[in-house]
């Protein structure tokens, strides 16, 4: 990196710091610090959600998938689009009507008594410490890889046991803490907006120079076909031509794994009804209509725009860097090789911005659990606004330290990503059903969460019980967890009538599972179950039709492109015709 590149990076860091300190003046209480005073617009919340998932590790993760498993390997994360569509058109309005501060706090709205309290505390701990810190850890791991690729560090000992890599992570962590700890969610969200714009510009710049160096799209496709790896350009892990149907074993995706992705993973994962940091953004919006808009913005940016910027860079890396062994490094290596000074500085800023947006979100989100759901709920119920902000700041520091340590014990971003999925698989069905069926109780959700966590962990890391096939591992974890929580539900009492009535009056849940209680309270659901189902099906058609058509046109696969585009346009037409996109705002 040239001096001008370092200067650009310094200016950006200074800007973020000043902005965070200025915005910290908005924080007067716990609600301001953790949910931005519930005043976010759908656009700002949705951009923040997209920035959160655009970390420094994600373009590296996608490049690694392309290099090792080909284009179809992206279904590992594309499959979560189904859960995100459901979050947008089904759960976003429900979450906003709940009015809680965190999804852990929601448990004591939906359930009652000691089981609900235990569930809230255990859930807050598991999500904020082990699961959240693994996420922070692989963001720092990606930053370490990028820094080493750029030549910023090389792992040499500086003094004692400390290498230059460790010192770099400590310095970045300290800087990140200043604006995150002081500013709370307001600072995180506003910085997210700036960071997302920079990250997208950086991704476009790397994509442009990589395609240009490859000789354009046509030459790139010709060179990729010459590698004799059919999985590289296949949108699905199979081929269908005049020779018949052929499963691409070279994609590294077995039949069971692929069908686990599209039919199991998205609803059995712990984010089946939204996901913690996403729920935090939905709860921070002005009303349920803005919450739905936030989901729509996120879907467009995350799947339809930036997916293909990352993928094209990964494909170009196969041609331009054929001797590379770690394909996750294609993104930074292409930037270093082909971008001139200033351009490289802007891309480095975009990667740092992406890193900061994800980690700052994870810190603030995790701190909301530790401060609101553990400290205030179980230690100091009488804690005032100043004390709660202080505890949130202390919790932020603790979580970041654990996350940095986690990054020092792994070398594969993809492996850490799959571990997070494995230990979060199992409770998804309960998380969905609790919105639609009165009989689900706190002990059923608690048993699903704990069994899914431990079964996923054991089958991922234990040398004696590891299930290598990822699809079979997900199927086993989901099935075994289902047996446990269904038996728990069968042998335990339902929630009290008082608890159920309070939940229905607050949230107005849809579906036949609440019909008897709604009638007794003379309450109508805001949306019918059939309308929500139609929204989900049509929304999924729009998302995947758009995703596949964009990719197919870029890859010169015109027939597939026109079919996918026709599906997307038809779903848009049906959505408009039936006015299923319209959200009613609950007058309260």
Instruction: Give the pLDDT band of residue 587 (cuts 50, 70, 90).
Output: very low
Phi then psi for residue 64, to 5 deg, are -65, -40
106 SS3 class: helix
Instruction: Give the pLDDT band of residue 21 (cuts 50, 70, 90).
Output: confident
Pick the range with the lowest mean pLDDT from 124-128, 354-358, 511-515.
354-358
Q: Residues with Cβ < 8 Å from 236, sequence gap 6 or more?
A: 72, 75
Q: Residue 437's beta-bridge partner residues?
A: 513
**CA 147, 76, 265, 285 torsion-angle sign:** positive
| pLDDT tens column, 278-319 | 999 999 999 999 999 999 999 999 999 999 999 999 999 999
* Cα distance between residue 448 and residue 483, in whole Å: 9
* Cα distance between residue 269 and residue 276, in whole Å: 12
Helix/strand/coil (H, E, C) string of 129-182? HHHHHHHHHHHHHHHHHHHHHCCCCCCCEEECCEEHHHHHHHHHHHHHHHHHHH
| pLDDT tens column, 55-84 | 777 888 899 999 999 999 999 899 999 999
Q: Between 402 and 43, name the one with better pLDDT.
A: 43
Chain length of the chain: 588
pLDDT of residue 195: 84
Q: What is the DSSP letter of 28?
A: -
- Name the packing angle between helices 217-225 and 306-320 (round to 10°): 60
Cβ(336)–Cβ(317) below 8 Å: no
pLDDT of residue 80: 92
pLDDT of residue 67: 92
Q: Show the tokens assigned to 417.
A: 């990503």
Q: Is the pTM of this model over 0.85?
A: yes
Q: What share of the chain is helix, strand, coil (3-state, %, to 5)?
A: 75, 5, 20
Output the average pLDDT for the chain.
88
Q: Between 109 and 579, name the one with better pLDDT.
A: 109
CA distances from 460 to 150, 253, 314, 422 (A): 32, 17, 27, 7
* CATH 1.20.1730.10 for domain 3-495: yes
| pLDDT tens column, 523-565 | 988 888 888 999 999 999 999 999 999 999 999 999 999 999 9
Q: Between 578 and 162, name the one with better pLDDT.
A: 162
Q: Residue 247's beta-bridge partner residues?
A: 238
Q: How many CA atoms, within 13 angstroms, populate the side-chain half-sphere of residue 74?
A: 31
pLDDT of residue 3: 79
pLDDT of residue 416: 65
**CA 568, 574, 580, 582 torsion-angle sign:** positive
Q: Between 443 and 9, name the one with better pLDDT.
A: 443
Cβ(106)–Cβ(373) below 8 Å: no
pLDDT of residue 579: 62
pLDDT of residue 53: 86
Instruction: Give the pLDDT band of residue 578 (cuts 50, 70, 90).
Output: low
pLDDT of residue 182: 74
437 SS3 class: strand
Q: What is the DSSP letter of 241?
A: E
157-159/238-241 β-pairing: unpaired
Nearest Cα to Cα of residue 438 among 135, 193, 110: 110
| pLDDT tens column, 197-220 | 988 998 999 999 999 999 999 999
Name the percent of the chain lying above pLDDT 70. Answer: 96
Q: Residue 162's beta-bridge partner residues?
A: 159
- How do the domains of the chain map onto residue ranges? 3-495, 527-588
| pLDDT tens column, 406-426 | 776 666 556 666 777 777 888
Q: Residues with Cβ < 8 Å from 95, sequence gap 6 or more?
A: 103, 106, 273, 274, 279, 282, 283, 291
Instruction: Give the pLDDT band of residue 588 (cuts 50, 70, 90).
Output: very low
Looking up tokens 């008897």 gives: 516
Q: Residues with Cβ < 8 Å from 119, sequence gap 6 or more?
A: 107, 111, 442, 443, 445, 446, 449
Q: Show the tokens assigned to 581.
A: 């996109």
| pLDDT tens column, 218-269 | 999 999 999 989 999 999 999 887 777 889 888 888 888 898 889 988 998 8
């Amino acid at each position: 990196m040239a001096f001008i590149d370092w200067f650009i990076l310094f200016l950006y860091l200074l800007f973020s710091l000043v902005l965070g300190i200025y915005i910290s003046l908005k924080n007067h209480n716990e609600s301001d610090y953790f949910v931005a005073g519930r005043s976010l617009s759908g656009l700002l919340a949705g951009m923040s959600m997209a920035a959160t998932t655009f970390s420094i590790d994600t373009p590296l993760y996608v490049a690694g998938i392309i290099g090792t498993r080909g284009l179809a390997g992206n279904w590992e994360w594309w499959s979560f689009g189904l859960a995100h569509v459901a979050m947008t058109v089904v759960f976003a309005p429900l979450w906003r009507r709940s009015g809680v501060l965190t999804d852990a706090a929601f448990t004591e709205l939906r359930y009652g008594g000691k089981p609900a309290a235990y569930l809230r505390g255990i859930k807050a701990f598991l999500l904020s410490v082990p699961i959240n810190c693994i996420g922070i850890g692989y963001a720092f791991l990606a930053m370490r890889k990028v820094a080493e690729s750029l030549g910023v560090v090389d792992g040499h000992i500086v003094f004692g046991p400390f290498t230059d890599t460790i010192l770099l992570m400590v310095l970045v962590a300290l800087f990140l803490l200043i604006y995150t700890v002081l500013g709370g969610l307001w600072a995180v969200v506003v910085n997210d907006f700036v960071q997302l714009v920079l990250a997208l510009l950086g991704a476009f710049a790397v994509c442009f120079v990589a395609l240009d160096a490859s000789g354009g799209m046509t030459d790139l496709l010709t060179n990729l076909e010459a590698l004799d790896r059919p999985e590289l350009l296949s949108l699905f892990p199979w081929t269908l031509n005049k020779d018949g149907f052929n499963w691409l074993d070279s994609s590294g995706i077995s039949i069971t794994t692929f069908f686990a992705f599209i039919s199991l993973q998205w609803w059995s994962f712990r984010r089946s009804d939204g996901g913690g940091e996403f729920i935090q953004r939905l709860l921070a919006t002005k009303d349920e209509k803005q919450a739905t808009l936030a989901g729509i913005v996120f879907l467009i940016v995350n799947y339809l725009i930036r997916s293909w910027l990352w993928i094209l860079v990964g494909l170009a890396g196969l041609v331009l860097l054929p001797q590379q062994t770690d394909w996750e490094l294609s993104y930074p290596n292409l930037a270093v090789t082909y971008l001139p000074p200033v351009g490289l500085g802007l891309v480095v800023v975009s990667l740092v911005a992406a890193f900061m947006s994800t980690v700052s979100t994870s810190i603030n989100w995790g701190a909301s659990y530790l401060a609101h759901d553990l400290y205030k709920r179980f230690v100091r119920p009488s804690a005032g606004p100043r004390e709660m902000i202080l505890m949130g700041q202390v919790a932020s520091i603790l979580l970041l330290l654990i996350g940095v340590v986690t990054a020092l014990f792994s070398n594969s971003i993809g492996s850490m990503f799959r571990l997070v999925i494995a230990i979060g698989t199992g409770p998804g069905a309960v998380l969905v059903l609790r919105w639609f069926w009165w009989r689900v109780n706190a002990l059923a959700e608690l048993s699903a969460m704990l069994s899914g966590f431990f079964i996923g962990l054991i089958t991922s890391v234990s040398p004696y019980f590891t299930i290598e096939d990822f699809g079979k591992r997900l199927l086993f974890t989901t099935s075994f967890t289902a047996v446990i929580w269904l038996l728990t539900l069968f042998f335990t009492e339902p929630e009290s009538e008082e608890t159920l009535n309070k939940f229905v009056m607050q949230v107005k849940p849809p579906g036949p599972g609440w019909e008897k209680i709604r009638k007794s309270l003379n309450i109508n659901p805001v949306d019918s179950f059939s309308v929500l189902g139609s929204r989900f099906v049509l929304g999924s058609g729009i998302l995947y039709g758009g995703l596949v058509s964009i990719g197919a046109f870029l890859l010169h696969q015109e027939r597939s492109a026109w079919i996918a585009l026709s599906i997307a346009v038809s779903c848009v037409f049906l959505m408009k015709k039936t006015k299923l996109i319209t959200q009613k705002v609950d007058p309260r």
